[in-house]
Amino acid sequence: MSDVTGGRALLALDQITMRFGGVVAIDGLDLEVRQGEIFALIGPNGAGKTTVFNLVTGVYQPTAGRVAFDGRKINGMKRFSVTKRGIARTFQNIRLFHNMSALENVLVGADAHHRTGFIGAGLGLPWHRREEREGRALARELLDFVGIGHRTEEWAKNLPYGDQRRLEIARALATKPKLLLLDEPAAGMNPAEKRSLQQLIRRICDAGTTVLLIEHDMGLVMEISDRVAVLDFGQKIAEGRPAEVQNNPAVIEAYLGAPADAS
């Protein structure tokens, strides 16, 4: 079931184990996400999907194993350095900067690659002004791209739920990631919103960003992803094309054991 897209490996988890006290959240996981694909990570509640994201973004350090990105080991790196290397994410529970405008939220992401220090900023030096200008242009462009270009000045917390999820995506894209991690981006969306989200993810991928997606909505997962991996109790129980995985007996059993609501 390998070589569906044939691209080179962008992200590789090698025998990753993550223990929290007695709980083994991730158990000897191997995972490979290839350049240019949309890869979905699915599994019942508590399977360890979000933990994988936290391991990849440096929030947790694995108990054992190695995470490599673009051919280099990234576990042990600081979280902001991981972001700079090209991994960005959204959160299952939205974590925007609520009392900042949509534009400012995205600018924080764009600042990840800005270089002026406090002297340039405090004295208002020319290259700082240029960077600010470019950052703002990029932020506006991204807000348009995700479809909330008309709400730049609104505070994040005043945006409707679906737009908050879009804003999180824009903020993540502003860090110019090679790999974008989306943690249940469709949660709480109605069917129409889900359709436009699906198109958005497609466009992100077409623009050259590889996507690793956690999602409970099977319809969306099956339509959009190039490959799917299924986690259960921290172990990978299946991997392959959506259609292959869908009919895998082990997967069906895992879901029947702990049925995921397709909300």
Using CA atoms of 49, 169, 246, 251 in order, give the dihedral in degrees to the nearest 10.
10
Residue 261 CB, nearest approach to ligand ATP (Å) = 10
**Residues of 120-142 as b/e, b for ≥16 C-beta within 10 angstroms?**
beeeeeeebeebbeebeebbeeb
Q: Which does 47 bind (CB under 5 to 8 A by kind): Mg ion, another protein, ligand ATP, none?
A: ligand ATP
CB closer to another protein, 56 vs 251: 56
Q: Which does 128 bind (CB under 5 to 8 A by kind): Mg ion, ligand ATP, another protein, none?
A: another protein
Structure tokens at 247: 């009919």
CA distance 108 to 160: 21
**Residues of 208-240 as b/e, b for ≥16 C-beta within 10 angstroms?**
ebbbbbbbbbbebbbebbbbbbbbbbbbbbbbb
The answer to whether residue 45 forms part of the interface with ligand ATP (CB under 6 A) is yes
Q: Which of 63, 92, 246, 248 binds Mg ion (CB under 5 A)?
A: 92
Show the site string, 3-42: x = touches ligand ATP by CB under 6 A, - = not: -----------------x--x-x-----------------
Binding to another protein in span 56-115, by CB under 8 A:
57-60, 78-80, 83-84, 88-89, 91-93, 95-100, 104, 107-109, 111-114
Q: Which of 10, 16, 50, 94 binds Mg ion (CB under 5 A)?
A: 50
DSSP letter at 68? E
